[in-house]
Amino acid sequence: MAVTRTKYNFYVKKKFHQSWLHNHINDPYVKLAQREGYRARAVYKLKEIDTQDHLIQPGQVIVDLGAAPGSWSQYARNKLVANPYHASSGINGTIIAMDILPIEPISNVQVIQGDFRNDIALAQLEKAINGRKIDLVISDIAPNLSGIAVADAARIEHVCDLALKFAQDYLVPNGALLVKCFHGSKYSQIVERFKHQFKTVVPRKPKASRDKSSEIFILGRVLKYPRA
């Protein structure tokens, strides 16, 4: 009996889901995140980059764009804990997590649910930073990808442009911006935009990124044209 296209598609999707689930459950970074109390394996991408580039320092104002579920903010919080032997001691710095999705509370992290392009969310951010500039912007945002190369490249470019504009508006002159990008037809143009805005621009591909993933992180440091 012939298999209809609908049934075939169902079988393919089911097989793919089962394969992904198996790989996810057995992923060493997933297991490590569970043991260490982090909400997502993505935390180890930030940890590796931070270890290499020393991004997170005491006293900083840090904004995590697209922070849900919150593992990057958790890591930043842990780096800024004033006294690691006393969890209630607070942190030496300020961490603000922003996302349109809800984020479960994280101790010592200010959570803003809203779009960072939206005036209401930005008003909450400006209240939280209280006249200060931001030292570090981190973003693990990934747009919804369609599988259509041209459309996906445009979406990735748009997200990176939004992060760049945010950084230009809010970073201190010697601040840094770390964003997730993907190799593709727009990658070189995105890097050129970073180079126009920052004095130092480097790509980072942490080991925690899955081998099959085309994701790569771009780190820009020290604004060329800081705003007053």
Which is the catalytic residue, given 45, 47, 180, 186? 180
Q: Is 27 annotated as a binding residue?
A: no
Residue 39 CB partners (closer than 8 Å, separation 6+): 33, 69, 70, 71, 74, 104
Contact criterion met (CB below 8 Å) for 38 and 75: yes
Q: Is 115 annotated as a binding residue?
A: yes
Q: How far apart are CA 115 and CA 61, in angstroms?
A: 19
Q: Is 135 annotated as a binding residue?
A: no
What does the block give as tokens for 213?
């993933």
What does the block give as tokens for 174?
């010697």
- The torsion angles phi and psi of 7, rounded to 5 degrees, stand at -65, -40
Q: Is 97 helix (H, G, I), strand (E, B) or coil?
A: strand
Q: Is 93 annotated as a binding residue?
A: no
Contact criterion met (CB below 8 Å) for 89 and 81: yes
In this structure, what DSSP letter does residue 68 have?
T
Q: Is 20 annotated as a binding residue?
A: no
Which of 65, 137, 73, 62 shows the shortest CA–CA distance to 105? Answer: 73
Contact criterion met (CB below 8 Å) for 70 and 97: yes
Contact criterion met (CB below 8 Å) for 55 and 178: yes
Is there a catalytic annotation at residue 180? yes
Contact criterion met (CB below 8 Å) for 112 and 128: yes
- The torsion angles phi and psi of 42, rounded to 5 degrees, stand at -60, -20
Annotated binding site: 70, 72, 99, 115, 140
Annotated binding site for S-adenosyl-L-methionine: 70, 72, 99, 115, 140
Report the catalytic residues.
180
